[in-house]
Structure 1
């Protein structure tokens, strides 16, 4: 979708948003992608789509509130005492936050997640949504996982997506979406959001695969691209439909090539934005 040859009028708005968020030395500005990522025509490029409305069209996500939760914080390693503080997640007590992972070359997960979240925000706002980030490079550390959940709850978000990169062993490749298990313990109660969250996660999985050209995880989820967990505070404490996406494994050299590519990160943002859009529009 971001390769120059694949541009058509239906996705011109998304291109302009991406071009505005790329720097002059960004290789993605020239449509460059790693050689193993094939150009493709997405659904938005092959047919009229609400993903990129024309300037005169009604914005399909007007009135919707989306919260994007970029995982970790690049400054967390300087605040170990603060992020190691335990917080209540209903099923257990866990660290406030962690430092996250990085590629073997040192590209940090926190840098990746913030970049992708900002790109997705621009795309969703172009479709009319009100978008809030739990963290926008404006904090010394955190926020803690319980606060991340509260931000989405307080915003009365129609959808919340936490953006991450995994730190598994080399050879483990692909993305997966984590869904909240039905939990009713302590301060956690996800019983009313587990169903809608599954719909959100399924839409996100479908569109992320289509936009990025990457496969679901070969090491989690049995090839489905979906995983259900009850031990993640950001999901346990949410009262709004919420999922977490591990966009790839940053410790695998092949996935790392993708995740360090600005053009691929734009595709990742498009997949996230399209998945959220599909979920919200289906619920109308």
Structure 2
């Protein structure tokens, strides 16, 4: 099915906290969690290229058997390829969803070989979109390519207003190269109670699916779910929404996985399975 994107005018608005390299996709580092240089998320991921488990109950390889007709899914590939060259735009203040403001976005992090987070999230987002559309879903993307600037973090929540759910894809950039393990972030506290509960169920579903292939970051608890009130994308979402920190880009093993097409497919497959299981 054809997918929809934000209007060009929104895509030119921008995204970032700092003009320099930032850790991952959220707005500020999570309390009591590994230190990260990014502002919209924090996390770590897989340590080798192999699978830890047998795969999720609904394998992406069997997606032809999955019927998502009538479902609308919003996918937000974190950051954008042109963010770093537009510091003024990305540092513009926008509503944080809790009565305050924050910077439009961040540049995101990168591996030691300078593979950008924006490239990783775009690659995984494209694979996930294709799988969802093959299963009959309508997919709404937060950005139309990986060459522009933005949209800002508030728009990365509101663009999903007509969808059933929102999954924002990121990767973390903790300072320690030994940090590893994915985690999933939900808005807390202050969100609409019904939406907050549905977001938690979505986080649990995706966390379970991710955990069958990747290593969960136990710094965020046994379920690898972080509950944060400071992320504008989640705060501005009116539908069940999560940010998924797929992996740790400063960890050499995880970086190798995220840079590979086979690794990107594994991330997309795990997200697909988690979304299907949520439905």
Shorter chain as denominator, the TM-score bin is 0.7 to 0.9
Any conservation in 2 of the 1:104–1:251 contact (CA below 8 Å)?
A: yes
Give the structure 1 partner of residue 82 of structure 2.
Answer: 75
Mapped pair 1:53 → 2:71: no
Distance 1:215 1:162 in 2: 19
Other-structure match for 1:190: 192
RMSD between aligned residues: 2.1
Deviation at 1:191, TM superposition (A): 2.9
The match for 1:148 is 156
- The list of structure 1 runs, each at least 4 consecutive aligned residues, that deviate by more than 4 angstroms after superposition, is 38-41, 43-46
Comparing both structures, which one devotes a greater share of its residues to helix? 1
What's the offset of the Cα at 1:180? 1.2
Residues 271-282 of structure 1 mapped to structure 2, 5 A cutoff:
271-280=270-279
Please give the alpha-carbon distance, in whole angstroms, between the structure 2 residues aligned to 1:139 and 1:106.
16
**Pairwise CA distance, 1:127:** 1.0
Q: TM-score, normalised by structure 2?
A: 0.77
Which residue in the other structure is 1:64 paired with?
A: 71
Structure-1 residue corresponding to 2:164: 158
Runs of at least 5 residues in structure 1 that lack an aligned partner in the other structure: 1-33, 184-188
Alignment of 1:122-271 (within 5 A): 122-137=130-145, 140-153=148-161, 156-168=162-174, 169-183=176-190, 189-210=191-212, 213-218=213-218, 220-271=219-270
Correspondent of 1:37 among 43, 50, 54: 50
Q: Is the 8 A contact 1:190 1:238 kept in 2?
A: no
User: Which fold has the larger relative contact order, with Cα–Cα distance below 8 Å and residues 6 or more apart in sequence?
Assistant: 2
Q: TM-score, normalised by structure 1?
A: 0.76
Aligned partners of 1:70 and 1:110 also within 8 Å: yes
- Quote the offset at 1:175 in angstroms: 0.2
The CA distance in 1 between the partners of 2:196 and 2:125, in whole Å, is: 23
Contact 2:118 2:146 in 1 (8 A): no
**Quick check: 1:109–1:165 contact (8 Å CA) kept in 2?**
yes
* 2:200 match: secondary structure: helix
Could you tell me which runs of 5 or more consecutive residues in structure 2 were left unpaired when the two chains were aligned.
Answer: 1-46
- What's the CA shift for 1:148? 1.2
1:52 is paired with a residue whose SS is: helix
SS class of match (1:192): helix
User: Does the CA contact (< 8 Å) of 2:48 and 2:254 recur in 1?
Assistant: no
